[in-house]
């Protein structure tokens, strides 16, 4: 399977020390160099050095054709979606609404951080979906509480 990730899911999972869910669920994750650079710039949530993760494959965004439909996105999202389109990715992991909508409109399968946590809970790779979401929220990440509650019910939890 070919799975590309954008920046925010990597930051969100790092916030709760669950970045290793990605290889546990998908084996290999592709990221464009722009995403690696965005994560390396740092912020209040530290992301491990992505270049050192054996399960992560970095690709150069310059190797993929530009798509004028994606001009409104930031560079990480734009380059991720261009690479995913070109590589005919099975999934793109992306959280931002505009990027998700464009990805879907271009025929890409989208999953976000909450979808990753849901899948991890369904496969018994985490103890609590809700605790993970609350942990990310405590670190400043925002998720729609109604959506969190709906997803929590799918795995027998109450948000």
Assigned token pair, 147: 């959506």
Domains plus CATH for the chain?
1-159 (3.40.50.1010)
Q: Do the beta carbons of residue 3 and residue 26 sit within 8 Å?
A: yes
Match 């050095």 to its residue by tokens: 49
pLDDT digits (tens, 9 = 90+) for 89-142: 999 999 999 999 999 999 999 999 999 999 999 999 999 999 999 999 999 999
Mean pLDDT check: name the lowest of 61-65, 100-104, 150-154: 61-65
> With bands split at pLDDT 50, 70 and 90, how would you rate the model's confidence at 54?
very high
pLDDT (average), residues 16-36:
97
> With bands split at pLDDT 50, 70 and 90, how would you rate the model's confidence at 59?
very high
Query: Is the predicted pLDDT of residue 67 greater than 90, yes or no?
Result: no
């Amino acid at each position: 399977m070919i799975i590309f990730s954008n920046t925010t899911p990597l930051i969100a999972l790092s916030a709760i020390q669950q970045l290793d869910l990605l290889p546990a669920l998908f084996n290999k994750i592709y990221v464009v160099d722009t995403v690696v650079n965005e994560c390396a710039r740092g912020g209040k949530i530290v992301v491990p050095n992505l270049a050192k993760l054996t399960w992560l494959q970095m690709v150069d965004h310059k190797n993929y054709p530009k798509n004028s439909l994606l001009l409104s996105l930031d560079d990480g999202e734009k380059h991720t979606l261009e690479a995913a389109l070109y590589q005919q990715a099975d999934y793109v992991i992306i959280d931002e609404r505009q990027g998700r909508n464009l990805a879907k409109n271009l025929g890409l399968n989208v999953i976000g951080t909450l979808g990753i946590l849901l899948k991890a809970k369904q496969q018994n790779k985490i103890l609590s979906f809700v605790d993970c979401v609350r942990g990310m929220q405590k670190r400043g990440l925002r998720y729609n509480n109604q959506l969190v509650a709906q997803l929590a019910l799918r795995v027998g939890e109450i948000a």
